[in-house]
Chains A and B, each alone.
Chain A
Amino acid sequence: MPNYRLTVNGRQQTVDVPAEMPLLWVLRDTLNLKGTKFGCGVGACGACTVHINNEPRRACQTQVSTVNQAVTTIEGLSTDGSHPLQKAWMQVDVPQCGYCQAGQLMTAAALLRRTPRPSDADINSAMSGNVCRCGTYLRIREAIHLAAGNGARRA
C-alpha cells in the first residue's frame, strides 16, 4: 500500500493505506481521531465534515490520495472547547445524542469564516447538508448566532 503525507490539525503524518480509502476512515481507524463521524457513507448527512484548506468537505467522499492541503478536524477546532462555536454549543446546550454535532460545528465554523454575521437564511443555506436526527436545528441556529455575536435569539 502506498504512503500518503497528510497535515492534520497542524501535524504532519504519513499513512500507509490504499489510494481510494476515504479520508474519514484514515482519520478514524488509522490516525485514531474518532471525532469525525460516520453517518451515511454517501455524503448525505454531513456527520463526517472536516475542513480541507479551510473549506468544509465530506471526509467519507474524499479519497486520501486526493488530499494535498491541510486538514482540520473537530479535534483541531480547539482541544479545550474554547472556540466560540464550541462555547456557544455548550452554553445553548445544543446536543441531544450529540453524534452529528462535530460535523455541524465544522460546517458552522466554515460558515462563520466566510460570513461572520450570518442571517437565518445564511445559516439555513450553509447547514442544510448536515442531518440532526434528534432535531436540534433550532439550537444550532441559536448557537451560531451567539458565536457570531448576534446574541441569543430564541423564542
Chain B
Amino acid sequence: MKNTKDLTQLNRRSFLQVSALAGGGMMIGLYAPKAIAQGGRGGAAPAATPSTYITINPDNTFTIIAKNPETGQGIRNALPQIIADELDVDWSQVKIQQADLDAKYGSQIEGGSTAIPSNYNTMRQVGAGGRALMLAAAAENWGVPVTELTTASGVVTHAGSRRTATYGSLAAKAATMPVPTNIALKDPKDFKIIGKPLPGVDNLKIVTGQPAFSVDVNPPGMLHAVYEQCPVFGGRPVSANLDEIKKLPGVKHAFIVDRVQIQGGQGQGLVPGVAIVADNWWLASNARKSLKVQWEEGATATQNSPGYATAANAMKAQASQPPAAGGRGSAVLGNVEEAFQGAAKVVEAEYYFPLIAHAPLEPQNSTAHFKDGKLEIWSPSQIPGLAGPAQAAGVQNTDVTMHLVRAGGGFGRRLASEYDYQAAKIARVVADERAAQGLPSVPVKVLWSREDDLAHDNYRPGGFHYFKAGLDASGKMIAFRDFVASVASVSPTGEFPSGFVPNFQVTSAPVNPFSIPTGALRAPSTNGVSFVMQGFIDEVAVASGKDPLQFRIDTLRNPNPPAAPPAGAAPGAAGARGGGGGGGGFNAARAIGVLEAVREMSNWNTARAALPKGTGMGVAFQFAHAGYVAYVVEAAVDSNKKIKINKAWCAVDIGSQIVNTSMAKNLVEGGFIEGMSHVMGWEITIDKGRVQQTNFTNANAALGYPPTRMNQAPPSVEVKFVLTNNNPTGLGEPSLPPAVPAITNAIFAATGVRIRTLPLVKSGYSWT
C-alpha cells in the first residue's frame, strides 16, 4: 500500500495506546473516543481505560477484537475487516476475538443499523495507527525515511535496499516508540479487505455443529431452568404447587420470582414468574407440565384484539379534525380540509397492520453463575448491560462479568434482555439455596420454549391508519392526510410524502386501554409504516393515472418544505425525515437514485406491458436508518388467491462503501424473505389479555405463526448497491420495510385488488 491520504484527526498519544507483550508481540488499543462513546446504553460511561483492538503476535498473526454483539448481521466480520484493511495485513493472518462487555469499548449494541456508521472511521484509524507504528519502527531500524517504505500482508518493505521485516518482528521495537503524528488512511481504491465478500468468521463452527451460540454455553456443573410467566401481560404468580414440583424427577429447585424494576435496563424489567431448575432442560420442562400456579391476572385480562379494532373504528371521525397544538405524533402543513374541497379527485382508504412477534429461531436464553458475591453471565443480548443482571442478582455492576455470545437471530427481540435478568436472579437463588445446604454454587441456564417466546415478547406495534389524499386536475397530489388510531403505534409525521405535498396532516389518538408490551422490530418504525404509506401512495398514483414509480419520482422532485418545522417534527427537519431513528435528513436525490436504479434493473418501463394476465409488478421505496432502499416485485396471483413471487429487484444506497458485499446481499435477500412473512402469515392476536398464537404451526392455523419457507421463496432477489458520496451506513434494518408494500403493490398490479390489511392469510390468500 503506497498511496495514502491524510484523513486522520487522531489526537496521537492521547488516542492510540501501545504496549509490549512478553515474547516480542505488542498490543494496540485506544482510549474510547467520543466517536464511539456515543451510546452508553450498552454499557456504563466510557472510562479512561485503553481498549485493545489489535494484538500483533510474534508469528506475524494478528488478533483483532470484534467489539459488538453478533446476532447474524455480520458485524463480527465487518468491524475487524475495517481494522485489518487499514493495518494492511491479509485476512488469512487475522484471528477474531469477541470482546466481553466493557465500557472501554464504548457502545456495544446491535441495533438501529448503527455499528457501521458509528465505528467505520474509528476502526479505520485504529488499523491505520497500527500500520504507522510498523512503518516508524522499520524506518528507525533501517535509518531510512518512512516515505520510502511500503506495506503489504503484514510486512514492511524498503524497495531501495530490498529489505523486508514482518510486523511481528517489528512489534517489540514499535512498542517502545512514540505513536507517529501523521497517520494516513488508505485511499478506498486500495482497499483489499473492506468491500470484499469475505465469508462469516464463524461459518466453520456453524456448519460443523461446534458450540457457537448462547444456548450452547455449557460451563461445568450447569443446571437448567424453565421460567413460567403469567400468560396475561402484567399479571403475577400468587402461589404455586412448588412442593409437588420439587419431588419430580431431576428437579433441584422451584421458586417464585417477584417483579424487579430494573433501573437502566430495557423492556419490562424482571417479570415475575415461577422458576423450575433441573438436571437438564427437558426434565425442567417436563416438570412444568405439572405446575399449577394461581395467577393474579390484572386488568389487561379484559382486553382483546377485536376490542382494539372496534375502538379504532369508532375514532376515525377524528381524522378530519386538526391536531391539538403541539400534540404528540401530529404534524400539519397548509390546510388539508380546504385542499380536499378544491381537489379534482380525492382518494380515501383504511389500512391495518397487526402486532407481530420477532421469533428469532434461537429461543430466549441466558446462562449465569453466581459465586462468592460475583456474577458471571453469558448473554445473547443485542443491548448487553450490566445493570439488569446486577440488580436482579442483588450485586453491584462492578461485580458482574458479561460475555457476549453469538445469538441465533435478534431482529430487535434481544433489545430487551429479561432472559439475562432471569438467569441472574435464578442463579442467585440457586446459589443461596445450595449454600444453605452446604453445596457449592453452580451455573444455571434459563431457556424459554417457543411458546414462551411468542407469548412474552415486546411486539411490533400494529397500526390503524385512515388516509385521505387530494389530487388537482393535472394529477398532482395537493393534500395528504393520515389519522392513526394508535395501539402504541407510530405516527408517520415525517414520512414521505411529508415535505413533498403542500397540504399535509398526520394526527393520532390512542386506543384505550391498550396494555400489550411493544418494542422495536427490525427497522422500527418503518417496518409497518412503509406498508401503509407506500401502499396508499400507490393508490394515489393510480388515481392520478400515472406510472406508480414515476409518480413517486415526480413527487420527490417537487419539494414543499415547511416554512417552519411542523408540530411534532424534529427540530431542523426539512421535508420528510422518516427512518425511525438514526435517519438523519432525508435526501430526495438519493431516494430518486434507488428508484431509478430499480426501474432499470427490473426493466420496469417495458416489462410490465408484456406480463401475462394475473401477473403484475409493484414498486416501493423507503428511507430507513440512514439507508435508501427501493424494491420492484413481480408476482402472479391465480383465481384461488395463490400468490407466487416470480422475482424481486432491490436497489440500495447506504453510502460510499459496502464493507462486506456478501453479507450485505444476504441481508437484502433475508429482508425480502422476512417481508414475505409480514405480508402473508404473521399476526399476534390478543384474547383475554394473552397472546393466542402458540408456535410456528398449530392444528388451528389461526393460532400458528408461520414464517416464510423455502418453497415460497422466489428464485432470486437481484441486488444493486448504488454507491454515493455519503458515509457508509448499515443495512440490517433498511432492507426490510419496502419489501412489504412492493409485494402488496405487485398483487394490486396483478389483480386490481388493493391490499390494505395484513396478514393476507386472513383474506384467503396463500403462497403457491
Interface residues of B in 189-236 (CB under 8 A from A): 197, 199-200, 202-204, 206-213, 215-216, 218, 224
**A44 contact from B249, B362, B673, B695, Cβ within 8 A:** B695
- Structural contact, B696 and A95, CB atoms closer than 8 A: no
Residues of A within 8 Å of B215, CB to CB, are 34, 37-38
Residues of A within 8 Å of B208, CB to CB, are 35, 74-75, 77-81, 86
- In the bound complex, how far is the Cα of B212 from the Cα of A98, in angstroms? 9
Interface residues of B in 692-719 (CB under 8 A from A): 695-697, 707-718
Closest A residue, CB atoms, query B358: A133
Residues of A within 8 Å of B717, CB to CB, are 138
- Structural contact, B282 and A34, CB atoms closer than 8 A: no
- In the bound complex, how far is the Cα of B353 from the Cα of A27, in angstroms? 41
- Chain A CB within 10 Å, residue with most, of B203, B406, B409, B712: B203
User: Contacts A30-B280, A99-B213 given: A131-B206 contact, CB under 8 Å?
Assistant: no
Q: What 0/1 readout, one digit per residue, does chain B (356-375) give for beta carbons within 8 Å of chain A?
A: 00011111000000000000
- Structural contact, B666 and A81, CB atoms closer than 8 A: no
- Structural contact, A40 and B207, CB atoms closer than 8 A: no
Residues of B within 8 Å of A22, CB to CB, are 282
- Structural contact, B363 and A98, CB atoms closer than 8 A: no
Does residue B337 face the partner (Cβ distance < 8 Å to A)? no
- Structural contact, B203 and A128, CB atoms closer than 8 A: no
Interface residues of B in 272-292 (CB under 8 A from A): 280-283, 286
Does residue A71 face the partner (Cβ distance < 8 Å to B)? no
Residues of B within 8 Å of A140, CB to CB, are 710
- Structural contact, A38 and B363, CB atoms closer than 8 A: yes
Q: What 0/1 readout, one digit per residue, does chain B (669-697) give for beta carbons within 8 Å of chain A?
A: 11111100000000000000000000111
**B408 contact from A33, A37, A44, A94, Cβ within 8 A:** A37
User: Contacts A155-B716, A155-B718 given: A44-B361 contact, CB under 8 Å?
Assistant: no
- Structural contact, A29 and B210, CB atoms closer than 8 A: no
- Structural contact, A131 and B707, CB atoms closer than 8 A: yes
| Stretch of B70-78, B137-145, B342-350, B721-729 with 4 or more beta carbons under 8 angstroms from chain A | B70-78
- Chain A CB within 10 Å, residue with most, of B73, B359, B666, B672: B666
Q: What 0/1 readout, one digit per residue, does chain B (445-464) give for beta carbons within 8 Å of chain A?
A: 00101110000000000000
Does residue B126 face the partner (Cβ distance < 8 Å to A)? no
Residues of A within 8 Å of B224, CB to CB, are 29
Residues of B within 8 Å of A80, CB to CB, are 208
- Structural contact, B710 and A127, CB atoms closer than 8 A: yes
- Structural contact, A39 and B363, CB atoms closer than 8 A: yes
Residues of A within 8 Å of B406, CB to CB, are 97-98
User: Contacts A93-B666, A95-B200, A102-B206 given: A124-B710 contact, CB under 8 Å?
Assistant: yes
Number of interface residues of A (CB under 8 A): 67
Residues of B within 8 Å of A155, CB to CB, are 715-716, 718
**B671 contact from A97, A131, A135, Cβ within 8 A:** A135
- Structural contact, B409 and A40, CB atoms closer than 8 A: no
- Structural contact, A21 and B669, CB atoms closer than 8 A: no
Does residue A41 face the partner (Cβ distance < 8 Å to B)? yes
Closest B residue, CB atoms, query A142: B716
Does residue A12 face the partner (Cβ distance < 8 Å to B)? no
- In the bound complex, how far is the Cα of B714 from the Cα of A120, in angstroms? 11
Does residue B624 face the partner (Cβ distance < 8 Å to A)? no
- In the bound complex, how far is the Cα of B199 from the Cα of A22, in angstroms? 34
In the complex, what's the smallest C-beta–C-beta distance from B447 to chain A, in angstroms? 8
In the complex, what's the smallest C-beta–C-beta distance from B210 to chain A, in angstroms? 7
Closest A residue, CB atoms, query B450: A40
Residues of B within 8 Å of A98, CB to CB, are 72, 200, 202-203, 206, 212-213, 406, 408
User: Contacts A39-B450, A44-B697, A93-B666 given: A25-B209 contact, CB under 8 Å?
Assistant: no
Interface residues of A in 27-84 (CB under 8 A from B): 28-30, 32-42, 44-45, 47, 73-75, 77-81
- Structural contact, A138 and B361, CB atoms closer than 8 A: no
Q: What 0/1 readout, one digit per residue, does chain B (97-139) give for beta carbons within 8 Å of chain A?
A: 0000000000000000000000000000000000000000000
- In the bound complex, how far is the Cα of B216 from the Cα of A75, in angstroms? 14
- In the bound complex, how far is the Cα of B210 from the Cα of A78, in angstroms? 11
Residues of B within 8 Å of A34, CB to CB, are 209-211, 215-216, 218
- In the bound complex, how far is the Cα of B73 from the Cα of A38, in angstroms? 21
Residues of B within 8 Å of A39, CB to CB, are 361-363, 450
Does residue A8 face the partner (Cβ distance < 8 Å to B)? no
Q: What 0/1 readout, one digit per residue, does chain A (124-151) give for beta carbons within 8 Å of chain B?
A: 1101111111111111110000000000
Does residue B594 face the partner (Cβ distance < 8 Å to A)? no
In the complex, what's the smallest C-beta–C-beta distance from A80 to chain B, in angstroms? 7
- Structural contact, A137 and B450, CB atoms closer than 8 A: no
Residues of A within 8 Å of B447, CB to CB, are 38
Residues of B within 8 Å of A139, CB to CB, are 666, 669
**B710 contact from A79, A102, A130, Cβ within 8 A:** A130
Does residue B424 face the partner (Cβ distance < 8 Å to A)? no
- Structural contact, B663 and A93, CB atoms closer than 8 A: yes
- In the bound complex, how far is the Cα of B299 from the Cα of A92, in angstroms? 52
Residues of B within 8 Å of A6, CB to CB, are none
- Structural contact, B666 and A136, CB atoms closer than 8 A: yes
- Structural contact, A93 and B669, CB atoms closer than 8 A: no
- In the bound complex, how far is the Cα of B662 from the Cα of A74, in angstroms? 25
- Structural contact, A40 and B209, CB atoms closer than 8 A: no
Closest B residue, CB atoms, query A85: B207
In the complex, what's the smallest C-beta–C-beta distance from B532 to chain A, in angstroms? 23
Closest B residue, CB atoms, query A21: B282
18 examples of A-B residue contacts, CB within 8 angstroms: A32-B218, A34-B216, A39-B450, A41-B695, A74-B208, A89-B206, A90-B203, A93-B199, A95-B203, A96-B667, A97-B410, A98-B212, A98-B408, A132-B673, A135-B672, A135-B674, A136-B666, A137-B709
Closest 10 CB pairs of A and B: A35-B209, A135-B673, A97-B72, A99-B408, A74-B209, A135-B670, A155-B716, A29-B280, A25-B282, A98-B206
A residues in contact (CB < 8 Å) with B: 1, 18, 21-22, 25, 28-30, 32-42, 44-45, 47, 73-75, 77-81, 85-86, 89-91, 93-102, 105, 120, 123-125, 127-141, 154-155
Sample of 14 more A-B contacts, CB < 8 Å, known A29-B282, A98-B202: A18-B286, A34-B216, A36-B209, A73-B209, A74-B207, A74-B209, A79-B208, A80-B208, A90-B204, A93-B203, A99-B72, A99-B360, A99-B362, A137-B673
